Structure 1
């Protein structure tokens, strides 16, 4: 099977890496598509990759794995949506854009919603597989324990707190938490890691980078894949971000500010000045530990580290039964959008 690993944003690298590894180990040919704007961040430059749509056409793929919202409709291959997060409350998560033949869902919550949409649109299929980015939770959850130990010893700290806000201007907490993060850092038992979304406004990146330069127990992390920081942190601070669910699935406490989810199963507050007291409460009492069971069962019940395998095998089976689609029916407006994005 010939596969395209389709990356429009650099968060796609960590999502697609387990699929790449499975393809590599099981005889499937693959090529990375990397948008020109993120080529400098691409971590696998020794592997076959391109930023040329023409080269992708010539590759004549059987499948395109896409953790984003758009994909060229005219490329050969089954167009497969594998998603870039778990935040179903985010605008657009359940929007049907008609570019995809197959949706590979992370868990029952997503599967049931897409089944309802399929009954309306009738132009795609759904298979529940789990999400490959989280395969490490099942295979090597302790991968960075030594690094965590060394970090804590270096900073003479006891707990690692991760601040990972969303980039959305309407939802981000970044403009409101700078002074609270600074006050939190006065408690030297805490080592605070700052990990911002790659699409975050540059001005806020600079403000928080400067803060980290001033204060020794605040570190602004630039590594693109957030998984390591999720694994080593003891508590997450955020707002309305998919990373919340990724952290909850590690069975650790989360604090958010003005989260817009319809069902909040963690500590949420509308008062930014409560950060310190909420951190202490959730580290010491973990009051929402029982509520996390719903997230485990509905958002991502797969803890075997085999989601990438399920995805690739599900696609291979689907193609064997249905063949590679000749084309998709796309509206003129959506054709124009894709042609504009990919410069056809």
Structure 2
């Protein structure tokens, strides 16, 4: 059977999540189209020739499987609705009852393709409670390009990747003392710096950091982090989910004012501690590496680069499974109205039952 896939995104940072999936789908001889419901994602998709420009064209495409790197997805589109996640559970800050946004249900998905045991276990509990979706652990497509992990040659000049989130309260990129310290360290020639900032950060902040470009500092305006993750010896970050992507390589991360003192991170509270923390991390402390290993085996215990393959195969298998035991998805009238208003497409059609194609 020939399958029609839709990769549904909102922001440019979802492209590296969808691209390995697209490659896998095409290798199977199936069809895949992209759609973004926001301008940022639309701009990022401009160079591609398999993009649906309007929501009407999405409806007419009639996908069999919708892979969503978004928090919600239109209920009036055909197809199995699959949550593929736009990040790891970064544990930036808990919400009520010490819960994290990563586990917030919106009531639109039939299947959650989880990244590893630490998230699968929580979603399985939610599945048992709500009974309108299922959970399958597959690993995460975005990290496929990191594998196989090749041991990096140790250069005399260490390479440090800097990554930052966009939240005003949490972003290291907004702190002048951090900026000045990195500026001084780059000028000293002691380290090579590679920097990437979250697309949502203000342009003046991006410009400020980009102006540091020189022999030992390079700013990258990209959402494709894999090549940078591979180049770096250690990472300097705040609470960005890029931390988890970096840790998968068993490389240390220095964090600036992280909201949690995890034993797999070297967390600092002041800019004065940056240089000594870098030097500590570059020694790859044995206990720290052990803690990182324990953490990533719960986060994402897949090191074969085949998570995209597992996602696609899992979706196709679930598409054909009997789902009569599952309840209807929640009525969700307010969220459904908001989606229709945002997309400018009003219809009474709604797929409340999990989408199934009988073989």
Q: Output the TM-score relative to the length of structure 2.
A: 0.86
Match of 2:217 in 1: 218
Match of 1:39 in 2: 42
Match of 2:27 in 1: 25
Match of 1:286 in 2: 285
Residues 24 and 308 of structure 2 are in contact (CA less than 8 Å); yes or no, is this contact kept in structure 1? yes
Structure 1 stretch displaced more, 58-67 or 265-274: 265-274
- Decide whether aligned partners of structure 1 residues 202 and 235 sit closer, same or farther in structure 2, where only a CA change above 3 A counts: same
Offset of residue 326 of structure 1:
12
- Decide whether aligned partners of structure 1 residues 131 and 221 sit closer, same or farther in structure 2, where only a CA change above 3 A counts: same
Deviations along 1:36-58, whole A, 9 cap, x unmatched? Answer: 3333323751x311221100100
Residues 162 and 236 of structure 1 are in contact (CA less than 8 Å); yes or no, is this contact kept in structure 2? yes
Residues 245 and 295 of structure 1 are in contact (CA less than 8 Å); yes or no, is this contact kept in structure 2? no
**How far, CA to CA, are the matches of 1:89 and 1:96 in structure 2?**
17
Unaligned runs of 5+ in 2: 93-99, 346-359
**How far, CA to CA, are the matches of 1:88 and 1:322 in structure 2?**
34
**How far, CA to CA, are the matches of 2:222 and 2:54 in structure 1?**
26
Match of 1:133 in 2: 142
**How far, CA to CA, are the matches of 1:64 and 1:244 in structure 2?**
28
Residues 188 and 217 of structure 1 are in contact (CA less than 8 Å); yes or no, is this contact kept in structure 2? yes
Match of 1:13 in 2: 15
Match of 1:331 in 2: 332
SS in 1 for 2:66: strand
Match of 1:269 in 2: 268
SS in 2 for 1:211: coil
Match of 1:194 in 2: 195
Match of 1:85 in 2: 87
- Decide whether aligned partners of structure 1 residues 180 and 190 sit closer, same or farther in structure 2, where only a CA change above 3 A counts: same
Match of 1:252 in 2: 251
Offset of residue 100 of structure 1:
1.0
Match of 1:209 in 2: 210
Deviations along 1:195-233, whole A, 9 cap, x unmatched? Answer: 011111222112112232xx4311110122111100111
Match of 2:97 in 1: none
- Decide whether aligned partners of structure 1 residues 194 and 88 sit closer, same or farther in structure 2, where only a CA change above 3 A counts: closer
User: Over the residues paired in the alignment, what is the CA RMSD in angstroms?
Assistant: 2.4
Structure 1 stretch displaced more, 162-171 or 334-343: 334-343
Match of 2:321 in 1: 321
Offset of residue 81 of structure 1:
0.5
Q: How does 1:55-134 map to 2 (within 5 A)?
A: 55-90=57-92, 91-134=100-143
Offset of residue 257 of structure 1:
1.2
Q: How does 1:115-194 map to 2 (within 5 A)?
A: 115-139=124-148, 141-142=149-150, 158-176=157-175, 177-194=178-195
Establish whether residue 341 from structure 1 lines up as the match of residue 350 from structure 2: no
Q: Which runs of 4 or more aligned residues in structure 1 lie more than 4 Å from their structure 2 counterparts after TM superposition?
A: 323-328
**How far, CA to CA, are the matches of 2:110 and 2:228 in structure 1?**
34
Offset of residue 300 of structure 1:
0.4
Residues 256 and 270 of structure 2 are in contact (CA less than 8 Å); yes or no, is this contact kept in structure 1? yes
Residues 73 and 327 of structure 1 are in contact (CA less than 8 Å); yes or no, is this contact kept in structure 2? no
Match of 2:356 in 1: none
Residues 253 and 265 of structure 2 are in contact (CA less than 8 Å); yes or no, is this contact kept in structure 1? yes
Structure 1 stretch displaced more, 229-238 or 317-326: 317-326
- Decide whether aligned partners of structure 1 residues 261 and 3 sit closer, same or farther in structure 2, where only a CA change above 3 A counts: farther
**How far, CA to CA, are the matches of 1:330 and 1:341 in structure 2?**
18
SS in 2 for 1:259: coil
Match of 1:312 in 2: 312
SS in 1 for 2:8: strand
- Decide whether aligned partners of structure 1 residues 19 and 127 sit closer, same or farther in structure 2, where only a CA change above 3 A counts: same
**How far, CA to CA, are the matches of 2:18 and 2:41 in structure 1?**
15
SS in 2 for 1:50: coil
